[in-house]
Amino acid sequence: MKKRVIWITGASSGIGEALTKQYALKKDIALIISSRRKSELERVAAQCKPKKEIAVLPLDLEKTNEVKQTVQKAISIYGHIDLLINNGGVSQRSLIRNTDFSVFQRLIQINYLGTVALSHALLPHFVSRQKGHYAVVTSVMGKYGSPYRSGYCGAKHALHGFFDVLRMEHQKDGIDVTLICPGFVQTQVTINALTGDGSQLGQNDPATANGLALQPFVKRVVKAIDQKKWEVTFGKKEKLGVYLKRLSNKLLHAIVIRSQVR
């Protein structure tokens, strides 16, 4: 029986690293892990216990012109791919008026266009096999907005629109789509977030520091993917905003403003 091949982007830290280590515990799975930093990918692969068949494949989501070649390399490693977990991305912490337009462009290029380019390039492989699964780590910020995250929210909202349509168009081809919408999770995402001039924030915030514990969270993510859920939301009180928006945009607006989350 062929092993189930899982390709994880953004695997050098945070959610992607934790997902890699969680899937490494499963039998009959081969992993491909990607991010810009090859040395960090090699560190993650070496730390997986028990020792697992893990292929390291560097990938820069900003370089969309290289994506097709990377997809062909990924397919050639094990001969096929069953699941692509689109997890690579970057966050933002800056007010709109203080943000260079180039920062918005980067957020769209990495979080949206890079993910779309990779998924689009892999699509013919999934169609030819008449099966395949995309899991996309978006955010509760793909469902509603919050100050200091304008460009990030825009990119995450866009992912929902694209992958909802991909599911509609290719369900007939045996292709599944799972949208993962986390709230605050205890990772380095805020520390690495882009500020208004494009530099990294370099510090954490209380909401992220007190967010969901990473390991229990990724276990729930793996379960949702295995169950081929269409969309699943994780979080503490910020999760409620997804449901509140359906009730009243004005009420959600007032609550988010009062929360003063940075």
| Domains of the chain from N-terminus onward | 4-237 (3.40.50.720)
Residues 178-203 have a mean pLDDT of: 96
**In this prediction, what percent of the chain has a pLDDT beyond 90?**
94
| The pLDDT value given to residue 208 | 94
Catalytic-labelled residue, pool 134, 148, 152, 243 = 152
* Band (262; pLDDT cuts 50, 70, 90): confident
pLDDT value of position 180: 98
Taking only the tens place, the pLDDT of each residue in 90-146 is 999 999 999 999 999 999 999 999 999 999 999 999 999 999 999 999 999 999 999
The pair of three-digit structure tokens given for residue 121, joined into one six-digit string? 């390039």
pLDDT given for residue 10 in this prediction: 97
152 catalytic? Reply is yes
b/e 201-227 (16+ beta carbons within 10 angstroms → b): beeebebbeebbebeebbeebbebbee
Give the pair of three-digit tokens for residue 40: 């960090």
Indicate if the pLDDT at residue 194 is higher than 70.
yes
Number of neighbouring beta carbons within 10 Å of residue 229: 16
Residue by residue, what is the 3-state secondary structure of the chain? CCCEEEEEECCCCHHHHHHHHHHCCCCCEEEEEECCCHHHHHHHHHHCCCCCCEEECCCCCCCHHHHHHHHHHHHHHHCCCCEEEECCCCCECCCHHHCCHHHHHHHHHHHHHHHHHHHHHHHHHHHHHCCEEEEEECCHHHCCCCCCCHHHHHHHHHHHHHHHHHHHHHHHHCEEEEEEEECCECCCCCCCCECCCCCECCCCCHHHHCCECHHHHHHHHHHHHHCCCCEEEECCHHHHHHHHHHHCHHHHHHHHHHHCCC
Could you tell me if residue 95 is left (phi over 0), alpha (psi between -120 and 50 degrees) or otherwise beta? beta
Q: What is the pLDDT of residue 197?
A: 97
Residue partners of 189: CB distance under 8 A and separation at least 6: 14, 91, 208
Looking at every residue in the chain, the average pLDDT score rounds to 96
pLDDT-derived band of residue 1, with 50, 70 and 90 as boundaries? low
For residue 261, the model assigns a pLDDT of 74
